[in-house]
Structure 1
Amino acid sequence: MYIPEYQRNENLSEVKTFIRQNSFGVLVSQIAGKPWATHLPMELDVQAEGKDILVGHMSKSNQQWRDFAKNEEVLCIFNGAHAYISSSWYQKEEVPTWNYVAVHVYGKIRILSQYEVMASLHRLVDKYEAESENPVSLKNMSNHTLKQVHGVVGFQVEISDFQAKYKLSQNREHDHPKIIEALEKRPDEASRAIAELMKERSDIKGAASPKTSSKKD
């Protein structure tokens, strides 16, 4: 992914939190030399050896999994909030743009055993049912219903690289107050989320600035 240095986020803890909060992503691999993508949830986890992994599953009818072994590396894409930025919010004339957050994860993929698939499905359901008014659990489902698990293929991606792009008008800091104000007035949640992220990034930079200045002195 193309990432200008000032838009790169190398805070791995923050990037991992982003993935956990935006775990519905896109798995991209190759089938006969052609890119193939599937939209699905992929949960960030850690192996017993301490290596970062992504865990997910897909339908056995999806031919993508049949070529997993032929892929030296796969790409997993996670998107966050995004918003159109009008250049009418700038102090000087410029073209409009788009602000967004995206994370690319690369790694080696392998197919899970039936036992591993079932364990991952229990974790997945328990995570997303935790705040439900009437939470369901796979533990309470009949064997007849759970037979559907045989129709999916589980996979694990051992992560080799994280790439995080936070495009938040970093090159237009003098315009931030107006951009944030305009985004907060918009009715959609994504615009307001981008405004909040811009404020958070400004706070982080502001907190770090005294250390930066002391090194220069």
Structure 2
Amino acid sequence: MYIPSHFAENRPDQLHRIMREHPLGVLVTQGTGGLDADHLPFEFDPDVGPHGLLSAHVARSNPLWQRCLTGTQVMVVFRGAQAYVSTNWYPTKHESHQQVPTWNYEVVHAQGILTVRDEERFVRRIVARLTRRHEVGEHRPWRMGDSTPEFIDGMLRNIVGLEIGVTSLVGKSKLSQNKALRDRSGAADELQARGHDELAQRMRPAEGS
């Protein structure tokens, strides 16, 4: 990934935030058939290993877990807030006409080593963690206990767990840091007006900076 120095995101707390707030990662693998990508919701534990641990699961019918054996090097891409930015949103464009459109975004590339976890206890735990996390905003959060044990047991037999011991995290936050403050603020205002609240918030300089 090309990362100009002014867009480099090296702060662990921000890298973890992007992964936590946008957990649907793209698992990129390479085998004899070439490159492949699977879109999976991940759980991230920053306290395991030097750079953290990613956990997920796939359908047993997905050939990924047999094609990419334990020890395979993989990459997971987490894309955060993103949107198109028009030159019309920059005040200086109307003065000098020396601006071009762009696309702002946040992204993290997590590289690591894959471990296949074909164990009932592991997949039960990861499913419980995922549902507990993502059901928290529901009026009546779903739990595995809401279904019969026979049904849940059957579903768990049809999935296989994955762990990725992260070896490196590389981040990029392209948020108009290379623009004048009024251009950056103007673009943020327009993005917020169009419903891109998260990206607009990230583009606004922190107070005191």
Structure 2 contact 70–115 (Cα < 8 Å) conserved: no
Q: State the number of aligned residues.
A: 201
Letter in 2 for 1:164: G
Match of 1:163 among 151, 166, 170: 170
8 Å CA contact retained: 2:52, 2:165? yes
Provide the TM-score with structure 1 as the length reference.
0.85
Name which of 91, 98, 102 aligns with 2:107.
102
Larger helix fraction of residues: 1
Q: Name the CA distance, whole Å, in 2 between partners of 1:24 and 1:169.
A: 25
Per-residue CA shift, 1:86-132, capped at 9, x if unaligned? 11223132221100111110000011122111111111111112221
Percentage of pairs with the same residue: 29
Q: Which residue of 2 aligns with 1:210?
A: none
Measured at CA, do residues 95 and 154 of structure 1 come closer, stay the same or move farther in structure 2, by a change above 3 Å?
Answer: same
**Cα displacement (A) at 1:144:** 2.1
Kindly report which structure 2 residues correspond to 1:1-217, keeping only aligned pairs within 5 A, or say none. Answer: 1-46=1-46, 52-69=52-69, 72-90=72-90, 91=92, 92=96, 93-112=98-117, 113-146=119-152, 147-174=154-181, 175-186=183-194, 189=195, 191-199=196-204, 202-203=205-206, 206-207=208-209
Structure 1 unpaired stretches of 5+: 208-217
Structure 1 residues 203 and 46: alpha-carbon distance in aligned structure 2, compared to 1, 3 A threshold: closer
Over aligned residues, Cα RMSD in angstroms? 1.9
**Contact 1:108/1:160 (CA < 8 Å) preserved in 2?**
yes
Task: Give 1:75's aligned amino acid.
Answer: M
Alpha-carbon distance between aligned partners in 2 of 1:64 and 1:156, rounded to the nearest angstrom: 13
* Inter-CA distance 99–136: structure 2 relative to 1 (3 Å threshold): same
Q: Extract unaligned runs of 5+ from structure 2.
A: none
Per-residue CA deviations over 1:162-190 (Å, capped at 9, x if unaligned) read 0111001111134112212222222xx3x
1:51, CA displacement in angstroms?
A: 5.7
Any idea what SS the aligned residue of 1:79 has?
strand
SS at structure 2 position matched to 1:170: coil
More relative contact order, 1 or 2 (CA 8 Å, 6+ apart): 2
Structure 1 residue ranges (4+ consecutive) displaced by more than 4 angstroms after TM superposition: 46-51
